[in-house]
C-alpha cells in the first residue's frame, strides 16, 4: 500500500477507470504486463448526502493481464446497485497498443482518460480533495472519518442523523446554559433530506458569526418558541438549530406543518 501523496507529481499521469461500486473505484495506469500481471489501484469511495468522496489510502493489486476484464466484472458485481464497469472493448484496444502512463497522485477529471464511462456522481467526486474514510460503527458502510462523530463513534450521515437527531437525542425544552455549549453535537453539516426521516426541521442556520452572538441568537429562538423541543448543532461553518415536529403530525406524513402561527 503506497500512499499516493508520496508519488511525485507527473505531468503525464493518467488513469483508466476499470469500474467501481458503492465502496471502491479501480483504475490502472499501465497495461504493459509484468510477470503476466498488470497493476490496478483500488480507491476507497464513500457515498454521502453531499456527494461521493474519494478516500486517501489506495490499495495496489496485481491482476492477471489476460483476465483484467474478467477480474473487473467479478469485482464490480452488478447486483450492487452502484456498481459499474467501463468499456472493456476500449480496454482491450489500449492493452493491444501497450498503453502506459505515470500513476497520478490524485484523481481528477483531467487525468482520467475515460471520464465518459463515469456517472456524474463519481465525476463530481474528482473535484474535491480526498478524505480519510472509515466504516460506520453502526452499518459498516464507508463514510468520511471525521464528519459525524458521536460518543467517540464514527458514523455515516444516515446513522448520525437517526441517532443524534432522533427521539433519544439530546433535545432541550429550554435555552442552553453557558456550560452546555461545550456539549452540543458537533457535525460537519446537517443534511436537510435526512431530517424528514426523524421528523425534525432546521429552523435556524448561523454561519460565520462569533460564538457569543450565535449563542444569544440560538437561545432567543428557543425561548421565543416554547413548547417545542430544540437541539443546537455545531457545524463546520457555525450552528444549526433543530426543532422536533409535534408528534401528532408524524402519522399523517409530510404535509405542510399545520399553521406556522405567528
- Report, in Å, the least distance between residue 160 CB and Zn ion: 8
Q: Tell me the residue nearest to Zn ion as measured from the CB.
A: 136
Terminal Cα-to-Cα distance of the chain (whole angstroms)? 60
Q: Give the total residue count for the chain.
A: 262
Helix (H) or strand (E) holding 92: helix 88-96
DSSP assignment of 33-54? -BTTEEEEEEEEEEEETTEEEE
* CB of 141 or CB of 172, closer to Zn ion: 141
- C-alpha 142/C-alpha 145 separation (Å) is 9
Nearer to Zn ion, 139 or 180 (CB): 139
- Indicate the residue among 91 and 143 with the shorter CB distance to Zn ion: 143
Nearer Cβ to Zn ion (150/171): 150
CB of 137 to Zn ion, least distance (A): 7
Q: How far is the CB of 158 from Zn ion (least distance, A)?
A: 6
CB of 162 to Zn ion, least distance (A): 9
Whichever of 16 and 47 has its CB closer to Zn ion, that residue is 47
Binding site for Zn ion (CB under 5 A): 136, 138-139, 156, 159
Q: How far is the CB of 164 from Zn ion (least distance, A)?
A: 12
Closest distance between Zn ion and the C-beta of residue 156, in Å? 3
Kindly tell me which of 128 and 140 has the beta carbon lying closer to Zn ion: 140
Give Cβ neighbours of residue 23 (< 8 Å, ≥ 6 apart).
44, 45, 46, 141, 142
For residues 136 and 159, what is the distance between their CA atoms, to the nearest angstrom? 8
Q: Which of 143, 231, 224 is nearest to 190 (CA)?
A: 231
Amino acid at each position: 500500500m503506497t500512499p499516493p501523496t508520496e508519488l511525485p507529481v507527473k505531468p503525464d499521469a493518467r488513469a483508466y477507470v476499470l469500474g467501481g461500486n458503492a465502496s471502491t473505484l479501480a483504475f490502472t495506469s499501465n497495461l504493459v504486463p509484468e510477470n503476466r500481471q498488470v497493476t490496478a489501484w483500488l480507491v476507497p469511495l464513500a457515498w454521502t448526502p453531499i456527494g461521493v468522496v474519494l478516500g486517501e489510502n489506495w490499495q495496489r493489486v496485481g491482476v492477471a493481464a489476460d483476465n483484467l476484464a474478467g477480474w473487473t466484472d467479478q469485482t464490480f458485481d452488478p447486483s450492487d446497485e452502484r456498481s459499474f464497469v467501463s468499456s472493456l472493448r476500449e480496454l482491450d484496444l489500449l492493452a493491444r497498443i501497450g498503453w502506459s502512463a505515470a500513476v497520478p497522485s490524485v484523481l481528477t477529471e483531467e487525468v482520467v482518460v475515460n471520464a465518459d464511462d463515469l456517472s456524474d456522481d463519481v465525476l463530481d467526486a474528482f473535484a474535491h480533495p480526498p478524505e480519510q474514510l472509515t466504516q460506520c460503527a453502526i452499518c459498516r458502510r464507508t463514510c468520511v472519518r471525521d464528519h459525524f462523530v458521536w460518543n467517540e463513534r464514527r458514523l455515516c450521515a444516515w446513522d448520525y442523523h437517526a441517532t443524534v437527531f432522533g427521539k433519544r437525542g439530546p433535545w432541550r425544552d429550554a435555552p442552553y446554559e453557558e456550560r452546555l455549549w461545550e456539549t452540543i453535537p458537533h457535525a460537519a453539516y446537517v443534511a436537510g433530506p435526512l431530517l424528514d426521516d426523524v421528523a425534525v426541521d432546521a429552523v435556524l442556520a448561523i454561519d460565520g458569526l462569533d460564538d457569543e452572538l450565535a449563542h444569544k441568537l440560538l437561545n432567543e429562538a428557543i425561548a421565543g418558541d416554547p413548547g417545542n423541543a430544540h437541539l443546537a448543532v455545531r457545524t463546520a461553518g457555525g450552528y444549526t438549530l433543530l426543532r422536533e415536529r409535534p408528534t401528532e403530525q408524524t402519522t399523517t406524513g409530510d404535509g405542510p406543518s399545520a399553521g406556522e402561527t405567528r
